[in-house]
Amino acid sequence: MKIGRPLKLRRTLACAAARVRRDFVRYGLALALVNAVFLPMAAPQALAETRILALGDSLTAGYGLGASEGLTAQLEKALKRKGVAARVLNAGVSGDTTAGGLARIDWALGDKPDVAIVALGANDMLRGLDPAKTEQNLDGILTKLKAAKVPVLLLGMRAAPNLGREYGGRFDAIYPALAQRHGVLLYPFLLDGVAAEPRLNLPDGIHPNAAGVAAIVERLVPYVERLIGAPRTAG
């Protein structure tokens, strides 16, 4: 009897160990099954981040502001607060004209954006350039974006009053005409509610400060949400 008990105990322990091994095998198979079924479902969400190209000048680049205060940074944060997974690509160059934007649009498209925001023309206006040439350059930019099947939000600009009524009328008409011609979304005036407001601008009176950018972004977000939901244009 003394010899049999250890033998019986060893057999009991062996059986228990076998059950544990079988349970681990079953658990491992179940875990593998869960990974196989659910991880591929989650992967597209991780890859669903919308890439937004912001092609513009100093107003886009964030002239005079910290890295987190500029238009692209604040817009990206505002979209994420609303649950929109987006990355805003800052393609703003201070001092750039529509001609400069047209010259670098092919390079900017190398970043493979899903949608684009075009915010150019302010420097053309400040230099008194011919509105017909400004319109021609913007038309070229929009044509290239359409060829790349990238939906566009066009941010309008308005002429300064000191340039005269005739110039102002020609310049201000550019953006609605282009939006209609190309079938793109239009935000009529980028500096709406901010222009000529000292508390919302840097000391130069031209460029928005961080608070001014926040005011712009608040108005702009609904348009960008519509842009993201817009169908990609046919080739």
* Residue 85, φ and ψ in degrees, nearest 5: -80, 105
Q: Which of 57, 96, 114, 207 is catalytic?
A: 207
Residue type, 183: G
Both tokens assigned to 165: 């009524």
Neighbour-count burial for 91-126, b at 16+ CB within 10 Å, e otherwise:
bbbeebbbbbbbeebeebbeeebbbbbbbbbbbbbb
The span from the CA of 140 to the CA of 149, in Å, is: 14
55 close to 91: Cβ distance less than 8 angstroms: yes
Among this protein's residues, is 94 annotated catalytic? no
Taking the alpha carbons of 194, 197, 200, 201 in that order, is the dihedral positive or negative?
positive
Q: Which of 58, 96, 124, 182 is catalytic?
A: 58
Among this protein's residues, is 207 annotated catalytic? yes
Strand ranges in the chain using DSSP code E only, listed in sequence order: 50-56, 86-92, 115-119, 152-155, 185-187
Between the alpha carbon of residue 200 and those of residues 36, 69, 210, the distances in Å are 53, 13, 8
Active-site annotation, residues: 58, 204, 207
